[in-house]
Copies of this chain bind each other. A is one copy, B any other.
Amino acid sequence: MDRDKQTTSSTKQKILDAALDLIASFGYKGASVRKIAKAVGIRESAIYNHFKNKEEIFASIMQNLFVSPLDEFFTKKPPQIYAKRGKIYLLEFAMNIKILSFDSRHEKLFRIILVELMQNEKIRQIFLQKFFDEYIKHLSNAFFVMMQEGLIRSGDPLLMAQEFFAPLFYFRLHTLLLRMDDKSTTSLSTIFEKHVEFFWEGVAISS
């Protein structure tokens, strides 16, 4: 029987939390079982009561990487319906990314993706899928709608989506890198809004 179901699950969670931190800092290889155990406050052998091996810890964390907070945005506000709002819609999307940039849990997940990007093909697939496929497709739909509504000048919606998204990605990365070394991010505090302004000026049809 469970000696203490509470303790059990909390220890398992502690391991995951510690692993998340350590992998975000040192990568998969750098996050050793001993470091994780030490962070939790147990011996390394105790880890194996909760996970089959180190790989399983990583796999468990990986699941979180598949869940994208921006999926929620596109589900709640599908472009087909809400893109008519034009600039407002783009601003909302940009604000979502801005918020994520300063959310500490999501920052860790993003760091894990980046730290493993070049060495782990699976993570690379997730990265490509999210930042170069999914979001772009959704935004592409949005721009298509805006063209139909006569809000923006006509053109290739796919290109437009990339042009709109790329700076957001660039600013998000910039934010992360500055934060890693505890540098000031004040220069980026309004950049997301400014981007939407600039972009809209370039594509909007001033009627």
Evaluate contact between A111 and B118: CB separation under 8 angstroms: yes
Query: What's the nearest-Cβ distance from chain B to residue A158, in Å?
Result: 9
Query: What's the nearest-Cβ distance from chain B to residue A75, in Å?
Result: 25
- Other-chain residue from B118, B121, B156, B178 in contact with A27 (beta carbon distance below 8 A): B118
Query: What's the nearest-Cβ distance from chain B to residue A113, in Å?
Result: 10
**In the complex, per-residue mask of A121-158: 1 if CB is within 8 Å of any chain B CB, else 0:** 10010011000100000000000000000000101100
Interface residues of A (CB under 8 A from B): 25-27, 29-30, 111, 114-115, 117-119, 121, 124, 127-128, 132, 153, 155-156, 159-160, 162-163, 165-167, 169-171, 174, 177-178, 180-181, 191, 194-195, 198-199, 201-203
Given known pairs A162-B167, A174-B132, the reply for A180 and B26 (CB within 8 Å) is: no
Evaluate contact between B163 and A199: CB separation under 8 angstroms: yes
Q: Please name all residues of chain B whose beta carbon is closer than 8 Å to the beta carbon of A132 when the two chains form the complex.
A: 174, 177
A143 to B34, CA, bound (A): 53
A160 to B194, CA, bound (A): 10
A155, A162, A165, A169: most-surrounded residue (chain B CB, <10 A)? A162
Sample of 7 further A-B pairs with CB below 8 A, known A124-B177, A155-B201: A25-B119, A26-B119, A114-B117, A115-B117, A124-B180, A162-B167, A163-B195
Query: What's the nearest-Cβ distance from chain B to residue A78, in Å?
Result: 24
Evaluate contact between B198 and A159: CB separation under 8 angstroms: yes
A111 to B171, CA, bound (A): 20
A177 to B118, CA, bound (A): 8
Evaluate contact between A163 and B198: CB separation under 8 angstroms: yes
- Other-chain residue from B114, B167, B178, B199 in contact with A118 (beta carbon distance below 8 A): B114
Given known pairs A27-B119, A114-B118, A118-B114, the reply for A170 and B162 (CB within 8 Å) is: yes
